[in-house]
Amino acid sequence: MNILVINCGSSSLKFQLINAQSEELIAKGLCERIGIEGSQMTYTPTGKDKIQVTKPMPDHTAAVKLVLDALTNKDTGVVESLDEIGAVGHRIVHGGENFARSTLITDEVIRAIEACNDLAPLHNPANLIGINSCRELMPHTPMVAVFDTAFHQTMPEEAYLYGIPYHYYADYKVRRYGFHGTSHSYVSHQAAQMLGRNYEELKMIICHLGNGASVSAIKNGKCVDTSMGLTPLEGLIMGTRSGDMDPAIVEFLCNKEGKSVHDILNVLNKESGVLGLSEGYSSDFRDLEKGYHAGEEPSIRAMKSFAYRVVKYIGAYAAAMNGVDVICFTAGIGENNPFIRKMICSYLGYLGISMNEEENAKRGEEAVISNPESAVKVFVIPTNEELAIARETLELVK
């Protein structure tokens, strides 16, 4: 069965068509600037050249139409007709406490996703628009919602509650939810396979280090803690997000700069992290690494702070699980940046970790980067959120 995986943002739509049995990627692409002048789609059928289509996409339905046309038309198509798309898997950012697993989309499910909109006001409405556009154009095709938050719903109360009056949780569901769940789940399952051990018997720490970054602790087959919170702003220092900080800083900066809470949160989401620490130099670790080796203080400061925060989370989660068997690096930085991996692992001697420099030089592929005698295994595992969504979708529609 071919499964179309859709990841809809407020002005973008990423898609992949995957053969769910063979797990082959058939085609992929991206629509950008939806609803904005200059909309364009890039589309790549596997094994063929990338195609760019510049065409107005006034809304997401127009974008989905363009995608379906590219997949089925005579010249660029990869399937004869829409009948060859057996199901659609939608990535949904926030499922709140309503969804601890993926689910077939019904009107009731759509209402329950809508009920989570105020927890992710930028993402969930866009995800819902993607669902509605697909339902309009493919009314008989089953659709599945796969949530970024679902994997983390197994966290115990002591991990997900904040130290604030309990009624804020009871009344408004203010708690830690965590994100990147599809990636943490996919990578941890791969790690168990690489180890040849039972998923349910392992203690794992997964470091998803991309532009958005989070760490999770998985014990006996369940996520027991994760670094992102009510929103993706908490936890690690990220590309442009601050991660953990004293909440009193918000009021302090509002007073100093004469700005609103909204303005400061914008700074914390978009102008902070390694971008902010490097004085606006870059949020991209390729640039920062160049700066670091050239001895530039802003890049050195940003990279050291980033690595240090990851190290603190690894320590916290090793303590929370009373040990750790395997630590995995994934996502853009985790998969492709040996220098950051080395910086992080250089702190972890206390866990009995020793790193294999030669293996650590690998980029973008599965690798065991710890030495055989290392007490804790360290893996690099490329994440594949789209494949994970296709697998979940197949499971529910087959």
Find the shortest distance in angstroms from Cβ 130 to ligand ADP.
Answer: 18
Two tokens at 78? 């990869």
For ligand ADP, which is the closer residue by CB, 40 or 211? 211
The half-sphere exposure of 221 on its side-chain side, counting CA atoms within 13 A, is: 5
Q: 22, 392 in Cβ contact below 8 A?
A: no
Is 148 catalytic? The answer is yes
For ligand ADP, which is the closer residue by CB, 211 or 371? 211
Give the residue closest to ligand ADP by C-beta: 332
d(CA 339, CA 345) in angstroms, rounded, equals: 10
| 29 strand-pairing partners | 15, 43
For ligand ADP, which is the closer residue by CB, 211 or 356? 211
For ligand ADP, which is the closer residue by CB, 212 or 291? 212
d(CA 323, CA 396) in angstroms, rounded, equals: 35
Find the shortest distance in angstroms from Cβ 286 to ligand ADP.
Answer: 4
Residues whose CB is less than 8 angstroms from the CB of residue 347 and which lie 6 or more positions away in sequence, other chains included: 307, 308, 311
| 207 strand-pairing partners | 215, 329
Q: Residues 75, 148, 171, 263: which is the catalytic one?
A: 148
CA distances from 361 to 24, 126, 294 (A): 27, 39, 20
Find the shortest distance in angstroms from Cβ 324 to ligand ADP.
Answer: 23
Residues whose CB is less than 8 angstroms from the CB of residue 73 and which lie 6 or more positions away in sequence, other chains included: none
Q: 100, 160 in Cβ contact below 8 A?
A: no
Residues that bind ligand ADP (CB under 6 A): 210-212, 284-286, 331-333, 336-337
Q: 221, 200 in Cβ contact below 8 A?
A: yes
For ligand ADP, which is the closer residue by CB, 127 or 336? 336
What residues are annotated to the active site? 148
